[in-house]
Chains A and B, each alone.
Chain A
Amino acid sequence: MRLELKQAGKVYGRGMERIEALQDISLVLSGGDRIILTGESGAGKSTLLRILGLIDRDFSGDYLIDGKNSRDFKPKELQKIRNHIFGFVFQEYALIEDDTVFENVKIPLLYSNVKRKDYKKEIERTLEEVGLLELMGKQARSLSGGQRQRVAIARALVNRPEVIIADEPTASLDSSTADQVLQALYNYLDNTKILIMATHGLKGKGPGNEKILRIAEGSISL
């Protein structure tokens, strides 16, 4: 897996309210890379992650995934990448509050090639990896912040993606919960997987061999 961002830029607003969130960002990532993006609030970390995760496709520059430009993806290819290749962990968890943990983690499986009869097995395996198996039947709204974030991680990992993109996964968590959450993430990684994680400042240990990139005013420095 190779991700290549070429001179990517992102502008919000128009005229007097125009904000250049990212300017000329170029990156190359391949299997085994562990990237930690740091920077102040508003520096552009989340914007960069959303571009990398194909949540935001309205940007300048080019984004190549295994050599193919993301602008040329047909809907079916886009669907496959979002389902099989990428696992995105959102900053605010982005769970469906009325649904159970099981139902939330099941969502990526609905659009995969996994047979319906195997859903439970896959979900249970993933929930065990994040230490939440016993909460499988609980509604998302009844969970604590740390538990919700681990459910979000489980959802991101259930289809065994090659690229994990995590946007400040420990932002509103205390240190020990943050450790738990990060450990759940790190346990999944091997030397074929790519991790890109945004954080204000890394709480707890890093994944090992991480490269820290600092974003300031829309530009990157090592």
Chain B
Amino acid sequence: MLLNDIRLALKDIYKDKILLVFYILFFACVLYTIISTTGSLVYEVKRPVTDKGDYTVFEAFLIGERIKQPEELKEGLAHIYGSEAFSYCEAGSKTYVFFGDPSGVYPYLKTEKDLSIFVGEKRKNTEKIALGGVDYGIEGILEEGCSFESLPGLWEDMDEMTFIVMRNFELPSWIRGDETEMIFEIIGNTHILTRKTEKIEEFFNCVGHDFVELRVKEQRGKGEELGFILGQMYPFLFILLLCYFLCSSIILDGVIKRRIKEFTLHLLQGARMRDIVLRFVLYYIFIIAAAITLCFWLGVADKEELWLYLLAGAAFITLISVMAARKLKKKDLNTNLIVGGAE
């Protein structure tokens, strides 16, 4: 009997092969919506920031052509980046130099050395890099696909990047370019890894008002991101899922109506309710499995979240089984033979 039910389910799938394509795409969209919003939340929860939990970034506006006291400024910046702050500048094609300790925001760049080099996945075969005539070994390979948000212009392939982390702020000779421009860039890219006003004031005082005008751009923190996700993204997700659910119900009602006469006929010819429900369940297992497979193939699904997709699929299948069983469990099956069905 079970084999018969499986055969009948496969026959149902074959009969509806074109409708099934649309159905699979529909579920893939639902899954993608759940994946992307859940992914944001998980990323924010897991992403480590500083122990204090917050950091501040700035906007810099050039107001002078020259730095009046460059050595003083550099000393001040060295003190700033010595603790609870870091910055960076571009040092050639696909190469960035960090000053200070960026690991609070970018844990992939954690190091105890004064100078460390990290390369992206695609450059993992590099053994050493020469800087100013000195060869340095590679400290670490960045995970494939790791992100460095807040670094402007870094939308290109992170896996080809080289990051040089220098714990002490000192403009090395091997970075080519105008010193004034570099310092302007470094000031603008500063991250203060605390909301303590004293540290931010120290930074403002260090920079002064002759060369650059500074403004706090953003104070980002775990709490704010989470607040945004929970306060805005999740209500949006809820509304979207409600719409998906309504669409599903309408589609389902149509599918059940189309099939109700056939299922009723089978019941009247000796099928049991579980035979019909099993056919339905197998039909939808196929759709949901295909949708999940499609999401994995497209690279939008994560193996670690497979349990979530399966849970969502199981919930949906339970719902539609209940809907179908309610329609079929009537005492008077004659109405099912009159409405809907194959004829």
Chain A contact residues, CB within 8 Å of chain B: 50, 53, 55-58, 75-76, 79-80, 82-84, 88, 90, 92, 94-99, 107-108, 110-112, 155, 159
Contacts and interface: CB of A to CB of B under 8 A. Distances in A.
Nearest to B1: A111
Interface stretch (B93-101, B111-119, B176-184, B269-277): B269-277
A96 B4 contact: no
A92 B8 CA distance: 24
Contacts of A53: 268
10 closest Cβ contacts across the A-B interface? A83-B270, A111-B270, A58-B331, A56-B332, A108-B269, A57-B331, A58-B332, A107-B269, A96-B342, A110-B4
Contact of A88 (B261, B268, B331): B268
A82 B269 contact: yes
B337 interface: yes
A46 B91 CA distance: 89
Given A88-B268, A108-B270, A110-B270, 11 more contacts: A50-B334, A58-B331, A82-B270, A92-B343, A94-B337, A98-B15, A98-B342, A110-B8, A110-B271, A111-B271, A111-B272
Contacts of B271: 79, 110-111
A111 B337 contact: no
A69 B32 CA distance: 53
Interface string B323-343: 000000011111001000011
B282 to A, nearest CB: 15
Contact of A80 (B15, B268, B270, B334): B270
A56 B273 CA distance: 16
Contact of A155 (B15, B269, B272): B269
Nearest to B338: A92
Contacts of A90: 337
A142 B145 CA distance: 59
Contact of A96 (B262, B268, B272): B262
A97 B268 contact: no
A9 B283 CA distance: 40
A102 B47 CA distance: 62
A50 B269 CA distance: 14
B294 interface: no
Nearest to A158: B269
Contacts of A111: 1, 4, 266, 269-272, 275
A110 to B, nearest CB: 5
B333 A97 contact: no
Nearest to A155: B269
Interface of B: 1, 4, 8, 15, 261-262, 265-273, 275, 330-334, 337, 342-343
B337 A57 contact: no
A181 B271 CA distance: 27
A107 B332 contact: no
**By CB atoms of chain A within 10 A, which of B1, B8, B269, B275 has the most?**
B269
Contact of A55 (B270, B272, B332): B332
Given A94-B337, A96-B342, A98-B15, A82 B332 contact: no
Contact of B261 (A84, A94, A159): A94
A53 B267 CA distance: 12
A57 B330 CA distance: 9
Contacts of B267: 82
Contacts of A57: 331-332
A171 to B, nearest CB: 15
A155 B265 CA distance: 11
A107 B265 contact: yes
B342 A82 contact: no
Contacts of A92: 337, 343
Contacts of A108: 269-270
A82 B269 CA distance: 6
B333 A95 contact: no
B334 to A, nearest CB: 6
A96 B273 contact: no
A146 to B, nearest CB: 17
Given A94-B343, A96-B342, A97-B343, A56 B265 contact: no
- Select the residue from B4, B267, B334 with max chain A CB neighbours within 10 A: B334
B136 to A, nearest CB: 72
14 contacts: A55-B332, A55-B333, A58-B330, A79-B270, A79-B272, A92-B343, A94-B261, A94-B265, A95-B343, A96-B262, A96-B265, A107-B269, A111-B266, A111-B271
Given A94-B343, A97-B342, A56 B269 contact: no
A96 B343 CA distance: 7
B268 A55 contact: yes
Contacts of B1: 111
Given A58-B332, A94-B261, A75 B272 contact: yes
A45 B269 CA distance: 21
B261 A55 contact: no
B44 to A, nearest CB: 51
A96 B337 CA distance: 11
A56 B15 contact: no
A42 to B, nearest CB: 15
A92 to B, nearest CB: 8
